[in-house]
């Protein structure tokens, strides 16, 4: 089974990288760009066929390690 995990900075937390990229895009003439947020994309191969178990294990991985829930949100998708 393949899992895709997305980790993003919480909406109310400043994202200096996103702001810098937004500034760069504006200076290049892409004036239509509003807010930019940068996050992380992780691909995990899971050695299981039990979807429910995979979901609960993934949630634990996100809470414990993959995201810092003080400042980040996460979501994941499961395939296969």
Question: What x-and-dash track marks residues 17-46 binding another protein by CB under 8 A?
Answer: x--x-------------------x------
| Burial class of 31 by CB neighbour count within 10 A (0 to 12, 13 to 18, 19+) | exposed
Pair 14, 8: CB distance under 8 Å: no
Nearer to another protein, 27 or 49 (CB): 27
Q: If binding is defined by CB under 8 A, does position 60 make contact with another protein? A: no
Question: HSE (CB half, 13 Å, CA atoms) of 76?
Answer: 25
What does the angle CA 39 – CA 64 – CA 19 come to, to the nearest 5 degrees? 20
Which one of the spans 28-36, 50-58, 65-73 is the region binding another protein (CB under 8 A)? 65-73
Residues near another protein (CB under 8 A): 9, 13-14, 16-17, 20, 40, 65-66, 68, 70-71
């Amino acid at each position: 089974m393949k899992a895709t995990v997305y980790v993003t900075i919480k909406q109310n937390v400043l994202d200096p990288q996103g702001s810098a990229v937004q500034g760069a895009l504006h200076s290049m003439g892409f004036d239509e760009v509003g807010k930019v947020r940068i996050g992380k994309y992780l691909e995990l191969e899971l050695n299981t066929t039990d979807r429910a178990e995979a979901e609960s294990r993934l949630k634990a991985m996100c809470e414990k390690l993959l995201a810092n829930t003080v400042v980040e949100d996460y979501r994941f998708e499961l395939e296969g």
